[in-house]
Amino acid sequence: MSRQKLIAGNWKMNTSLAEAGSLATGIADGLAADAVAQVVVCPPFPWLAAVRGQLAGSAVQLGAQDCSPFAGGAHTGDVSASMIAELAGWVIVGHSERRAGHGETDALVNAKARAALAAGLQAVVCVGEDLPVRESGNAVPVVLGQVVGSLSGLSAAELGRLVIAYEPVWAIGTGVAATAGDAQEMAEAIRGAIQAGWDTAVAGGLRILYGGSVNPTNAHEILIQPDVDGALVGGASLQPDAFLAIVAAAPR
Ligand code: PGA
């Protein structure tokens, strides 16, 4: 099954309002008319509305970096999926920086994914092992456990509106990406787990991204792996030229 490549930029807690505007404009203006990949940028919450305006009329889509598992009410500081859906089409859930920094469990990530899908968003559900797990040789079972826990109870139709991002924690922001072979191995294992838990059609249609120190130099080799359907890009998504080079590295 052919799956359109997806390149998503995770701006994290970076950019001023002015910088967000020029970054969005730079990406929108620079995106090649014949780009084959789908492109999403995920600015910080306060800039979503402004960046939405900057992207108007371009093919670049908008996402947020997190959402509340709750629909609304007394949750000071949180942002609901339905609020995001008024401005954007996508949301990242379960990023390792939220799992580590905010104690997010697979169960909470599952609740956030459900909230996102219920609000009509497309979700990027992140999983990935830390260095001790990688060194222990248990990366595949640990990541598959995260996948099953984070997606538990979702229907085949719901899985059709989400993307999994495999992001090994030791590769995020370190400049040390996983090898293309390691990214492929994990993506293939994740697809196998989806096939086992749902069915072949769901597994064949599901997009699995790699994230962790993706840059213009390593992007092509990673993106040509048969089970790697795109990239979630942090640092390199803050420079239009680097981000657009990664978009351009996606094979047809
Ligand atoms: P990085 O971040 O590209 O800076 O490693 C990726 C991510 O955390 O999504």
Q: Per-residue pLDDT for the chain (252 aa), expressed as one digit of tens each?
A: 589 999 999 999 999 999 999 999 999 999 999 999 999 999 999 999 999 999 999 999 999 999 999 999 999 999 999 999 999 999 999 999 999 999 999 999 999 999 999 999 999 999 999 999 999 999 999 999 999 999 999 999 999 999 999 999 999 999 999 999 999 999 999 999 999 999 999 999 999 999 999 999 999 999 999 999 999 999 999 999 999 999 999 998
In Å, how far from its chain's centre is CA 235? Answer: 14
Q: Report the nearest atom of ligand 1 relative to the CA of 165.
A: 9
For residue 97, give both structure tokens.
Answer: 């920086």
Active-site annotation holder among 97, 104, 129, 167: 167
Q: Ligand 1 center to residue 203 CA distance, Å?
A: 25
CA distance 135 to 72: 41
- Do 64 and 85 contact (CB within 8 A), yes or no? no
- Which residues, 6 or more positions from 185, have their beta carbon under 8 angstroms from its beta carbon? 140
Asked whether the whole model's pTM tops 0.95, one would answer yes
Q: Report the nearest atom of ligand 1 relative to the CA of 175.
A: 5
